[in-house]
Chain A
């Protein structure tokens, strides 16, 4: 295995431990190897960025870590839970309780207001609607969206929609925040604001943040940057010495 990994952190510091992950799509002669043996550790309180060209396996890796995709082989332990051994129902509950998502395309429900969209994870968790919306409104207020609570996504700018998506990802205080290209649809200013919000609110002791990005403007927000190429992690560098600075 030619994987580069982050070095073995002490077990009590590791939020996410990935070992020897492979992922193949298709069958027979049409197999595509998306991951070719990835080792990766993410520690508590860390913001890790995954970078690399399109098709290098970033999204596949982050999907596996978030528990939305099964690896073909390898081990994935997140907050001490073995995701590979976990049954599908357990994985659904794990995601519900531990993972927050910020998607590239926001994926807000167009018929719900900003506050209602942000409340969705709490509603999924079984909170009463009114309480969930009130809690979501508090988070949106922290994100500077207090005056947009009743607006539909179609009435919000791209940056505002992304803030709603961040509020939705954080409202249930997940231990893992997974962000997929959170700034790719935003201008430089909104991208910076978005990353500042993620760093300020989500990067906390006891939590971990993984950001998949192509956007070199936001590399400086990372604690470490894992650079991927052809289904493998090529290099892991400090956020201050990322490849974009070269």
Chain B
């Protein structure tokens, strides 16, 4: 009987395509907008993800997200080091600096200062020059996207200079780095150099990066750090989610995307539901004939649900497929952020399931109450 249901469904091409289109529309919009949202959220935490190595970030207790810098006294480093379970801890500077280029123009930069001795937090994607070159005077390593932004159309060349805080900075390396939310160029330098490039402040230490000793639970070590220093200590994963939570709660980004996703859901439900209902109404005599010939209501129910499921699977597959292709194209051609984790696929699947269920329920009632004697009416 499911075969008959399938033939009935695809036999009416126009209606079938209409129903599938509704589901595709919803799936594309939901998956695409959710993926752009995830892409934006991933930008907000790109600097945390780029700092590989340390599992613990220690910061001022009032810090709400990664760009919310509330400087610490340098002595906090030693207090963190003294907490039992801390294997090592180093300084990390993060701030916004203003670069004055040779042409006289200015550019905002994200300035990251790495521990002078260990370079903990150094980028792993250096493709021109080397991390060790940071030991040279005035040395900085710049991300390639920043280089292209400052010197558009020019070939990569080491030794280029610019000024920050009236001090010369020399590009000694180029690295791949994840794009940031602000899209500013990123420059890495030694901590001692960074505080010279940065505007003068009494306190300059942004974060203490630490690692739990082998066998120690990082979350437990964080709790201990907080207890003993009064600072805020988060595991890398906790800091990522804290930052994302901040953007979710304090900005209009989720609402804007949420509205689009919801509209996609509504329109998809309306198109698919209405077309599926019309399809059922159009076939009501056929369903009546099947009932007259001895098809049970239970089988009819399964037939309608199978039709809905078929539409759902095809619509979902094509919808997320199109959304993925869209993401793949725009990610390569534009600066649009697009990130499609499995959760987006799951959410889209759940939404499509609801759309198909609503569409099916509208139709199910119609076919279940149809009197098989309808077939005797002319």
A→B interface (CB under 8 Å): 59, 62-63, 66, 68-69, 89, 92-97, 99, 101, 103-105, 107, 109-112, 116, 120-121, 123-125, 129, 180-181
A63–B286 CA distance with the chains assembled, in angstroms: 17
Contacting residue for A63 out of B291, B294, B376, CB 8 A = B376
Which residues of A sit under 8 angstroms from B372, Cβ to Cβ?
A: 68, 95
A92–B295 CA distance with the chains assembled, in angstroms: 7
Q: B12 contacts the other chain (Cβ, under 8 Å)?
A: yes
B8 touches A103 (CB 8 A): no
Contacting residue for A95 out of B10, B292, B299, CB 8 A = B292
Q: B124 contacts the other chain (Cβ, under 8 Å)?
A: no
A68-B371, A121-B293 given; A59·B4 CB < 8 A: no
A96–B299 CA distance with the chains assembled, in angstroms: 13
B373 touches A68 (CB 8 A): yes
Give the Cβ gap from A87 to chain B, nearest Cβ, in Å: 12
Give the Cβ gap from B295 to chain A, nearest Cβ, in Å: 5
Q: Which residue of B lies closest to A125 (CB)?
A: B294
A59 touches B293 (CB 8 A): no
A92 touches B296 (CB 8 A): yes
Give the Cβ gap from B299 to chain A, nearest Cβ, in Å: 8
Sample of 6 A–B contacts (CB below 8 Å):
A59-B377, A69-B371, A96-B294, A109-B7, A123-B1, A124-B295
A107 touches B378 (CB 8 A): no
B290 touches A120 (CB 8 A): yes
Which residues of A sit under 8 angstroms from B295, Cβ to Cβ?
A: 92, 96, 124
A110–B378 CA distance with the chains assembled, in angstroms: 18
7 tightest A-B CB contacts, nearest first: A111-B11, A96-B294, A107-B289, A63-B373, A68-B372, A95-B294, A68-B373
Give the Cβ gap from B131 to chain A, nearest Cβ, in Å: 67
Q: B342 contacts the other chain (Cβ, under 8 Å)?
A: no
B376 touches A62 (CB 8 A): yes
Which residues of B sit under 8 angstroms from A116, Cβ to Cβ?
A: 7
Q: B236 contacts the other chain (Cβ, under 8 Å)?
A: no
B→A interface (CB under 8 Å): 1, 3-4, 7-8, 10-12, 285-286, 288-296, 299, 371-373, 375-378
A93 touches B294 (CB 8 A): yes
A180 touches B296 (CB 8 A): no
Which residues of A sit under 8 angstroms from B291, Cβ to Cβ?
A: 68, 92
B285 touches A123 (CB 8 A): no
B11 touches A110 (CB 8 A): yes
A59-B376, A68-B372, A107-B286 given; A112·B7 CB < 8 A: yes
Which residues of B sit under 8 angstroms from A89, Cβ to Cβ?
A: 296
Q: How many Cβ-Cβ contacts under 8 Å join chain A to chain B?
A: 86
Which residues of A sit under 8 angstroms from B7, Cβ to Cβ?
A: 109, 111-112, 116
Which residues of B sit under 8 angstroms from A101, Cβ to Cβ?
A: 289, 292-293, 375
Which residues of B sit under 8 angstroms from A103, Cβ to Cβ?
A: 289, 375-376
A215–B373 CA distance with the chains assembled, in angstroms: 21
17 more A-B residue pairs beyond the given contacts A96-B293, A120-B4, A123-B4, with a C-beta to C-beta distance below 8 A: A62-B376, A63-B373, A68-B375, A93-B294, A94-B294, A96-B295, A101-B289, A103-B376, A105-B375, A110-B286, A111-B7, A111-B11, A111-B12, A116-B7, A121-B294, A125-B294, A129-B3
A174–B372 CA distance with the chains assembled, in angstroms: 18
Which residues of B sit under 8 angstroms from A181, Cβ to Cβ?
A: 378
A63–B371 CA distance with the chains assembled, in angstroms: 11
Q: Which residue of B lies closest to A169 (CB)?
A: B293
A95–B292 CA distance with the chains assembled, in angstroms: 7
B296 touches A66 (CB 8 A): no
Which residues of A sit under 8 angstroms from B373, Cβ to Cβ?
A: 59, 63, 68-69
Give the Cβ gap from B368 to chain A, nearest Cβ, in Å: 12
A105-B285, A107-B375, A111-B7 given; A124·B290 CB < 8 A: yes
Which residues of A sit under 8 angstroms from B286, Cβ to Cβ?
A: 107, 109-110
Identify which of B3, B4, B10 gathers the most chain A CB atoms within 10 Å of its CB.
Answer: B4
Q: Which residue of B lies closest to A88 (CB)?
A: B297
Which residues of B sit under 8 angstroms from A66, Cβ to Cβ?
A: 292
Q: Which residue of B lies closest to A64 (CB)?
A: B373
A121–B292 CA distance with the chains assembled, in angstroms: 10
Which residues of B sit under 8 angstroms from A93, Cβ to Cβ?
A: 294
A124 touches B294 (CB 8 A): yes
Which residues of A sit under 8 angstroms from B288, Cβ to Cβ?
A: 107
Q: Which residue of A lies closest to B289 (CB)?
A: A107
A93–B11 CA distance with the chains assembled, in angstroms: 28
Which residues of A sit under 8 angstroms from B11, Cβ to Cβ?
A: 109-112
Which residues of A sit under 8 angstroms from B10, Cβ to Cβ?
A: 111
Q: Which residue of B lies closest to A111 (CB)?
A: B11
Which residues of B sit under 8 angstroms from A129, Cβ to Cβ?
A: 3
Which residues of A sit under 8 angstroms from B292, Cβ to Cβ?
A: 66, 68, 95, 101
Give the Cβ gap from B324 to chain A, nearest Cβ, in Å: 32
A112 touches B4 (CB 8 A): yes
Q: Which residue of A lies closest to B10 (CB)?
A: A111
A69–B373 CA distance with the chains assembled, in angstroms: 6
Contacting residue for B8 out of A92, A104, A109, CB 8 A = A109
A103-B376, A129-B3 given; A95·B293 CB < 8 A: yes
Q: Which residue of A lies closest to B372 (CB)?
A: A68
Which residues of A sit under 8 angstroms from B377, Cβ to Cβ?
A: 59
Which residues of A sit under 8 angstroms from B294, Cβ to Cβ?
A: 92-97, 99, 121, 124-125
Which residues of A sit under 8 angstroms from B285, Cβ to Cβ?
A: 105, 107
